Structure 1
Amino acid sequence: MEGMKKRVLSSSVPPTMVLLFLCFSVLLMLPMVSATRFMVGGRMGWNTNFNYTTWAKGKHFYNGDWLFFVYDRNQMNVLEVNKTDYESCNSDHPLHNWTTGAGRDVVPLNVTRHYYFISGKGFCYGGMKLAIHVENLPPPPKASPIKSLAPTLSSKGHIFLMPIVFAIGAAWDSFIYLW
């Protein structure tokens, strides 16, 4: 009996099964991971003499994405303002000051609307302003309808039979290996 206990305790799941399980889990989670973190300005970061309108052009910002501002923390800041203050570079009454003091600020885009960001202290006049529109993710494409001549399990079962046979064989092989 003690030998049986030892055998059961010493047997473990083969590494290939663990790897297969992990790969399958990652594949299941991929559709859920859809948020994007945009580094504002790319390699240039949040800096003067850069056209952020051109940078944002062609990009789609969706609900759940993030903006990552990288800048000189001793000089610049990140302020969210309304459209009027954005157009006039007025930083006197920001809607939100995203500046944390580290020069690495993250802004969650969790509401579908227009966002307007500027840098105060006169840097807005040097081009440090960004306007984006955040929208909801588009719905996934619909599946095409099943054609009446398409093979089904009832009409041509052999099409589905081979993957089922391989799955049963793999499960049986794992069972025998563990036993």
Structure 2
Amino acid sequence: MASLLRKTMGLSLFLVLVSLKLSFGAVYEVGDDKGWTVNDKSYYTGWAKSKKFHVGDVLLFRYDKQIHNVVQVDKKGYHKCNAAKPIAGFNTGHDSVTIRSDEHLYFICGTPGHCEAGQKLRIKVSRSKVPVVEPPPPINQASFARGGSCPLLLCIVILVIGLF
């Protein structure tokens, strides 16, 4: 009986973990190994066409912050390589952008000449009928150390370890 209970709980836990994994978006490192830098003019177009982006996915921009930046612009700013009216700007060298709607997204490098040289990206977001769950906030280590509530994933891991 205890063995059956363990197997049932293990299967239930597995299904919860699988559903959590499926509900969070994918993380795409822009440009893959090359990152966000000046490439040939069609590089980022080809990179984006090789992916299927959905609401909830995350774009990770990695670049040398001394040389590049990331500017989110509208369609006109993208086509004209104009960062004068940015939607958002990033300059840490390790920036992430979560796709929050099924609208197209446009990014350019604001360093003079870089966008014109091909450092620009258009993301076409696929319309999806699957609801996307926002990732949980980071664990507050201080709260947890004071006896705060157990984060869901940590509780699940503890439960699994206790089963075996």
Aligned-residue Cα RMSD (Å) equals 2.2
Find out whether 1:84 has 2:63 as its counterpart: no
Shift of 1:39: 0.3
Equivalent position to 2:17, from 24, 29, 47: 29
Shift of 1:30: 1.5
Equivalent position to 1:42, from 24, 29, 32: 32
Offset from partner CA, 1:33-63 (integer Å, 9 cap, x none): 2310000000000011141000011311101
Aligned residue for 1:125, secondary structure, equals coil
How far apart in 1 are the matches of 2:71 and 2:10?
Answer: 42
How far apart in 1 are the matches of 2:111 and 2:50?
Answer: 29
Q: Which runs of 5+ in 1 are unaligned?
A: 1-12, 140-179
Please name the residue that 2:96 is paired with: 106
Please name the residue that 1:54 is paired with: 46
Amino acid at match of 1:107: V
Please name the residue that 1:149 is paired with: none
How far apart in 1 are the matches of 2:13 and 2:85?
Answer: 47
**Shift in alpha-carbon separation, 1:121–1:23, aligned structure 2, 3 A:** same
Shift of 1:26: 2.9
Amino acid at match of 1:66: V
Please name the residue that 1:128 is paired with: 119
CA contact (8 A) 1:98 1:107 kept: no
TM (norm. structure 2) is 0.66
Which of the pair has the greater relative contact order for Cα pairs under 8 Å at 6+ separation? Answer: 2
Aligned residue for 2:123, secondary structure, equals strand
Aligned residue for 1:62, secondary structure, equals coil
Identity, % of aligned pairs? Answer: 33
Q: Which runs of 5+ in 2 are unaligned?
A: 131-164
Amino acid at match of 1:69: F
How far apart in 1 are the matches of 2:64 and 2:9?
Answer: 45
Aligned residue for 1:33, secondary structure, equals helix
Shift of 1:138: 4.6
Aligned residue for 1:112, secondary structure, equals coil
Aligned residue for 1:30, secondary structure, equals helix
Shift of 1:20: 7.0
**Shift in alpha-carbon separation, 1:22–1:78, aligned structure 2, 3 A:** farther
